[in-house]
A and B are shown apart, each in its own frame.
Chain A
Amino acid sequence: MADYKWPAAENRSLIGKRISRLDGPLKSSGRAKYSFDVNRPGMLYGKMILSPYAHAKVTKIDTTAAEKMPGVKAVTLIWEVGKEVQWAGQEIAAVAAETEDQARDAARAIKVEYEVLPHLVTDATPQQAGADHSKQLSEQKTGDPDPAFAQAAATIEGTYGSPVITHCCLESHGQVTEWQGDQLTVWASTQAVSNLAGEYAPAMEIPAGNVHIITPVMGGGFGSKFNSDVWGFACARLSKKSGRAVKMLLERDHELMVAGARPSIYAKVKVAAKADGTLVAWKSESWGTAGPGSAGNPTLPYVFRPENRSSRHTAISTNIGPARAWRAPNHPQMALITMSALEDLAAAVPMDPLDFFLKNIELTGTLAKVYKEELLKAAELMDWKKKWHPRGQMVAGPIQRGLGLSLHTWGGGGHQSNCNCTIHPDGSVEVSLGSQDLGTGARTVIGIVAAETLGLPLEAVKVNIGDNHYPASGASGGSTTVGGVSSSTRRAANNALNELLAKVAPSLGGDAEQLEAVGGVIRVKGDTSKFLPWKQACAKLASTPITAAGQTSKDLISSGVGGVQMAEVSVDMETGVVRVEKMVAAQDCGLVINLKTAESQVYGAFIMGITYALHEEKIMDQQTGRCLNADMEFYKLAGLGDIGELVVHMMTGPGYDDRGVIGLGEPPVISPGAVISNAVANAIGVRVPTLPITPSKVLAALESKGAKA
């Protein structure tokens, strides 16, 4: 019998190797069919009318004119008269028409009247926002910071933070819906294939079993695509009314206005150390906005836990738009605030921040050993000791270079996953589960685990995912997919193999316990002369395939990773333009299933992180209540020329592999803002307090430094 425990390093044929993703050729050649690419016979296009006001009561909705527009087949209301909208971009009603342009024109012909109410869309402090908009969310105190500050050798105070940014998924939110009788099919761009039927069913008043969700590939979610959303239900209603399939994916401006935002978090920090660099006290007052709700609640300081610390957070309610989980909720903001303050403190001690972080490494708790190994590895890859210079030490000419570093952590674990593994009598193998591949490489990981378990090459396994007709398997959030699907697949494939071994045992000496599947054969352990090629072994099944199930298995996975990143930047002191020269990551995620896609996750996170460090901001206009940059012209994402050299080192081997599989979606995107901010401070000799670090802010920081000098 085969054991489901992960194979030892010397027995792995696929796990931990660099393997290209299974859907790479399909995606790079444009043949992969995203929800956007689904075109059904007779399909209509859906478009919505949005509130232009950030805060208003809807007093009238008149769809009469729209219903008479050319090509219009259905109109449905999303909002109600009398109800207040809380952000510009709130969906009011939707239409379906024969062409996209007809639908757009018809949506504009819906007449909506509003009673405009006062709004707040600025990223205000609690003092500016006032009591009506402020709510204290948390207060924590350990030890007593004040006496510790009094005795400290070095104390710094600073304000740090980052604004509201959006998810800006390249495939915007939305879906294609189609009814056949009371059966609803939804080609959804979603992170939660197995969960959506449960949302559509009550809304459409049909049993969940009548809802078919299909997402073979999808173009980015980052935490913003867990639900059906109002546009999903509106699309299904338009389909129902018109009797036609309807495609309704958000326009880019709509996507940026409402389909996801990361809360802003700012903090006033005071932090102190002894003369030898030992961190002794932390105090912070933080605030931020997540729109009208109160998401975004940091735990400060991040990673390091000095003996004396206190923190308080206040949420500011605004009409800036709704927040959604953004890749590692709270963590990038917590890392920026904490690591910036600690780097400023190290400069004040003064100390090389690498030495400062190492000096305080025990304050990180259980991951201290991991962090220490990663700091040393990253320092080696960055050539830190050779390149680093004390803050403010300049070279001739306008271009100054600087280094920065940061630590981060995340949970991971595994979502609840069910997997079926089927071995057919012809030797072909299928693994099926409902979860989706957000672009992370989940599909390939599933294939690798099944193939490794069955002793087959990767191409011998057909991976069926992204469909709720496959066994229910969790949403992709919080870095839980790889833990869930790898362990359920391992168990399912192992169970199926054991059934197969029992069938072929009579042909190979009779004892299934003595059999193993390796290198495309079923063989007797320790006796290479007794084997059956895979295909011949499967032929013993006669006409009935084996299907075995597996579920998430806690003993195959783990939770809690540490990561270290470093950045080298150059700053043009005359223009304030920052260029990322090099980024280094040393990242732990337990047992790596596919080294290539794991590294890709980190590369992608670097690019996303460079983007929010240097460019991203949801720019709101208090006068009009509107988002000014709801387009990809001024909502700026980094491109190839902006990313510098990216170096990724995955921590593997003893001490890492034996922890089991841990997720990697969130961790690498946490530190880039902090490392770039720290590198800029090191380069120019002064802190740029908030992200994004634009030329305007760099020049302002230099000017304030000049004024102080």
Chain B
Amino acid sequence: MEAFEYARPASGKEALELLGGSFADSEILAGGMDLISLMKNYVLSPKRLVNIKGISEFSGIRSTQQGLAIGATTTLQELIEHKTIAADYPGLHQAADAIPSPQIRNMATAGGNLCQRPRCWYFRNGFGLLARDAKGNPLVPGGDNRYHAIFGNDGPAYFVNGSSLAPALIALSAQARIFSANGWREVAVADFFRTPRNDNERENVLQPKEILGEIVIPSASKGLRTSTYEVREREALDWPLATASVALKMSGNKIEKASVVLGYVAPIPWQAKEAGDWLAGKTLNEETAAKAGEAAVQGAKPLSGNKYKVQLARVCVKRALLAAGRA
């Protein structure tokens, strides 16, 4: 990796002062699970790392009037062990708990899980965020795209978002709280992500001098049922091929409201709105769950080598719904 400066500020304000005006100037370090390997492979070469792990305002899990606030530097292990999360938001707990391995769960942070860079082997082999050849032609459509997007892949981005937590948080209508010189601003986690249109854009709305400080989940209401289901090739250290997180407002067996969000299928966590809308008013059973899975993949447009992911997404939705119903 290139040489870099390392800063460990004690406050959010101090951290902002250390952050540069462009992403090339500085990167925010928390768990470092993704950033350090990108730097070692010269994919990213920031001039300065600003470590926010020692900053108390971005740490810890606390109950607020708005709901449960999860500090960005909360480790996945802390999140998994949190009793309220396990009891009230099993879909989020499951999403975190499925992330391998113990070493990663002990170091990786909730904020880092949301901000990690795309899982695209062209990007990670130095062909740029949008994976293009020297002439500017995209490499993914004609290359090996078995792990790439089946939604939102009209270009120029074909990668998948690699956050396991994001779909669960979006299903719960969580808010991302972003800290900057102007103080705190809130944006729905659903709106936090965006598909970059050029190599200078990132996969989320954070500006170079902004920090994702906290994630707030609305208090669990009566009848909330959540679940996350993922399919992956290996039990050992591996990325999901697809995930689905669902949040249902149930009245008995009946679904009043449903939110269905897919992971690892698009450049952003993918909200399957059609499935959610269709589920409203239905009784949850094997048949409606299967139909919701069908609805969720209606708009899928697989690339040359990832048609199987459509089926995986379909099954993830069905199984997540059935599991939520059993919970």
Chain A residues within CB distance 8 Å of chain B: 101, 104-105, 108, 574-577, 614-615, 619-624, 626, 628-634, 636-642, 694-696, 699-700
Contacts and interface: CB of A to CB of B under 8 A. Distances in A.
A695 B121 contact: no
9 contacts: A621-B143, A621-B144, A623-B133, A624-B127, A628-B121, A629-B121, A630-B125, A636-B234, A695-B308
Interface of B: 1-3, 42, 121-122, 124-125, 127, 133, 139, 142-144, 146-147, 231-239, 241, 305-308, 311-312, 315
A638 B142 contact: no
Contact of B231 (A575, A621, A636): A575
B121 A634 contact: yes
Highest count of chain A CB atoms <10 Å: which of B2, B236, B305, B315: B236
B147 A634 contact: yes
Nearest to B315: A574
Contacts of A630: 125
A639 B236 contact: yes
B291 to A, nearest CB: 15
Highest count of chain A CB atoms <10 Å: which of B121, B237, B306, B307: B121
A695 B133 contact: no
Given A621-B139, A638-B234, A696-B306, 8 more contacts: A575-B311, A628-B143, A632-B237, A639-B234, A641-B234, A642-B234, A695-B312, A699-B311
B144 A574 contact: no
Given A614-B233, A615-B233, A639-B235, A623 B139 contact: yes
Nearest to B305: A696
A615 B235 CA distance: 12
A642 B235 contact: yes
Contact of A694 (B122, B233, B315): B233
B231 A695 contact: yes
Contacts of A577: 231-233
Contact of B237 (A620, A626, A639, A694): A639
A620 B238 CA distance: 20
Given A105-B2, A576-B308, A619-B144, A695 B233 contact: yes
B313 to A, nearest CB: 11
Contact of B146 (A623, A637, A696): A696
A575 B114 CA distance: 26
A642 to B, nearest CB: 5
Contacts of B238: 636
In the A-B complex, the 5 residue pairs with the smallest Cβ-Cβ separation, listed nearest first, are A639-B236, A641-B235, A696-B308, A628-B121, A574-B315
Contacts of A641: 234-236
A570 to B, nearest CB: 13
Contacts of B121: 619, 628-629, 634
A640 B236 contact: yes
A108 B45 CA distance: 14
A516 B91 CA distance: 72
The prevalent SS among residues of A at the interface is loop
Contacts of A699: 308, 311
Nearest to B127: A624
A108 B133 CA distance: 20
A632 to B, nearest CB: 8
B236 A642 contact: yes
A104 B45 CA distance: 14
Nearest to B318: A574
A110 to B, nearest CB: 14
Contacts of B125: 624, 626, 628, 630
Nearest to A640: B236
Contacts of B236: 637-642
Nearest to B293: A574
Contact of B239 (A632, A633, A700): A633
A624 B237 contact: no
Contacts of A628: 121-122, 125, 143-144
A371 to B, nearest CB: 33
Contacts of B311: 574-576, 699
A636 B233 contact: yes
A101 B1 contact: yes
Contacts of A696: 146, 305-308
A634 B305 CA distance: 16
A576 B118 CA distance: 25
A623 B142 contact: yes
Contacts of A623: 133, 139, 142-143
A619 B121 CA distance: 10
A700 B139 contact: no
Contacts of A576: 308, 311
A624 B233 contact: no
A624 B306 CA distance: 20
A616 to B, nearest CB: 11
Given A101-B1, A621-B144, A575 B234 contact: no
Contact of B133 (A624, A636, A640, A642): A624
B113 to A, nearest CB: 16
Nearest to A622: B143
A193 to B, nearest CB: 32
Nearest to A253: B41
Contacts of B307: 696, 700
A577 B98 CA distance: 16
A574 B236 CA distance: 21
A620 B143 CA distance: 9
A59 B77 CA distance: 52
B46 to A, nearest CB: 15
Nearest to B306: A696
Nearest to B121: A628
Nearest to B1: A101
Highest count of chain B CB atoms <10 Å: which of A104, A576, A623: A623
Contacts of B312: 575, 695
Contacts of B315: 574-575
Contacts of B237: 632-633, 639
A619 B147 CA distance: 12
Contacts of B241: 695
A636 B124 CA distance: 16
A574 B133 CA distance: 36
Contacts of A694: 233
B232 to A, nearest CB: 8
